[in-house]
């Protein structure tokens, strides 16, 4: 028998890094968790269930409005977490139109699905038991920053098609909140990583590279801009913040980050030091890995989240990099544990 008091959550992007940590967290909190995936034969579902356990699946596509309405009607969730996106920033220049459709318009389609299923119109505002919606906004929206650190009032100046699409998603979420009274919030999450991060992202590229060189599987690591500075945190910590936002009495947007800056050079140096190597002996600079328009500095001001949500990061930058390097050493040496396996970068 199902517990009638348990809350039900629907997560888009559940087969990605963030979706897996959020599903894990919500299950531990007693939620019934559903994931939205494209197609019945999605190969990433079995891996998700191996890691996470009792997750239910429904089909839907952020490119298809009708499928989202059907999914929301079937699941009847209390909460919807929209984490689905084309999330690899360099790819957004190669597939700009698809990025706009999935990462930007996909947010509108999910909001519309909730509005339609809930029967919300301009003349009918939602009641207290409405579906609560979380949108995964991004620090990439700040782009060419106007001030440092960045908070909820800092203007946006995105520097990639990904950042532009995320900015649209952020504003359309705000618009539906103000137009229809929907409980819709955005979490402006700064860079968050883990051993489950896809190998194409710079943090995982570095930790995998250090592990390969340590194990004699490679001799060099090719990198682009080492001077870009980011606010890096642990993805599991950020999943806690998502739920906290939807547990508030009133819908508000929050910046989530550590408030501490590290350069890509710092990341490389610490990862190689973790395996007992000097990075300068192995890292080669390669212009092919430089972005067309670089974002030089991103640093969060998480004061609002700290004071209103009571949220604090628990894992430091050094602990995060150590975990990722040790996980990749196990993965490449054949002694990997299930939680060491990366999740799908294609999770919309």
Backbone angles phi, psi at 211, to 5 degrees: -65, -40
* Contacts within 8 Å (CB) and 24+ apart, 31-35: 31/6, 31/7, 32/2, 32/6, 32/7, 32/8, 32/56, 33/8, 33/9, 34/8, 34/9, 34/10, 34/58, 34/75, 34/77, 35/10, 35/11
The tokens describing 136, both together, are 């995964």
Of 99, 167, 173, 207, which is the active-site residue? 167
Cis peptide before 149 (omega within 30 of 0): yes
Half-sphere exposure of 152 (CA within 13 A, CB side): 13
Mention every residue, 6+ apart, whose C-beta is less than 8 A from residue 221: 205, 206, 209, 210, 212, 213, 268, 282, 283, 284
167 is annotated as an active-site residue: yes
The tokens describing 279, both together, are 């990075």
Q: Of 313, 292, 232, 308, which is closest to residue 268 (Cα–Cα)?
A: 232
Q: Where are the beta strands (DSSP E) in the chain?
A: 8-12, 32-37, 56-59, 79-82, 132-138, 184-189, 192-193, 221-223, 229-230, 233-234, 254-256, 262-263, 283-285
Q: Which residues of 105-114 are buried (b: 16+ CB within 10 A; e: fewer)?
A: bbbbbbbbbb
Residues annotated as catalytic are 167
């Amino acid at each position: 028998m199902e517990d009638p008091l348990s809350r039900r959550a629907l997560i888009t992007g559940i087969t990605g890094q963030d979706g897996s940590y959020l599903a894990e967290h919500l299950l531990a909190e007693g939620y019934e968790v559903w994931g939205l995936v494209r197609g019945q034969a999605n190969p990433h579902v079995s891996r998700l269930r191996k890691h996470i356990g009792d997750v239910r699946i429904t089909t839907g596509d952020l490119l298809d409005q009708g499928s989202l309405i059907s999914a929301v009607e079937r699941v009847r969730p209390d909460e919807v977490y929209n984490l689905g996106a084309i999330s690899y920033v360099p790819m957004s220049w190669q597939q700009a139109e698809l990025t706009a459709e999935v990462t930007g318009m996909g947010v509108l389609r999910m909001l519309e699905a909730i509005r339609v299923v809930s029967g919300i119109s301009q003349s009918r505002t939602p009641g207290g038991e409405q579906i609560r919606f979380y949108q995964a906004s991004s620090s990439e929206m700040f782009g060419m920053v106007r001030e440092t650190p960045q908070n909820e009032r800092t203007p946006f100046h995105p520097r990639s098609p990904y950042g532009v699409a995320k900015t649209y998603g952020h504003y359309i979420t705000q618009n539906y909140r103000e137009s229809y009274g929907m409980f819709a919030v955005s979490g402006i999450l700064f860079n968050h990583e883990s051993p489950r991060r896809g190998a194409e992202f710079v943090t995982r590229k570095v930790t995998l590279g250090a592990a390969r060189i340590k194990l004699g599987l490679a001799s060099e690591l090719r990198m682009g801009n080492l001077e870009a500075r980011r606010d890096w945190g642990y993805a599991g910590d950020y999943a806690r913040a998502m739920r906290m936002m939807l547990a508030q009495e009133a819908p508000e947007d929050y910046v989530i980050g550590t408030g501490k800056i590290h350069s890509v050079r710092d990341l490389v140096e610490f990862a190689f030091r973790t395996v007992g190597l000097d990075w300068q002996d192995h890292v080669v600079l390669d212009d092919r890995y430089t972005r067309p328009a670089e974002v030089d500095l991103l640093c969060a001001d998480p004061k609002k989240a700290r004071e209103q949500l009571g949220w604090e990061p628990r894992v430091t930058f050094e602990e995060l990099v150590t975990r990722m390097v040790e996980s990749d050493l196990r993965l490449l040496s054949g002694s990997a544990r299930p939680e060491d396996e990366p999740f799908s970068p294609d999770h919309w």
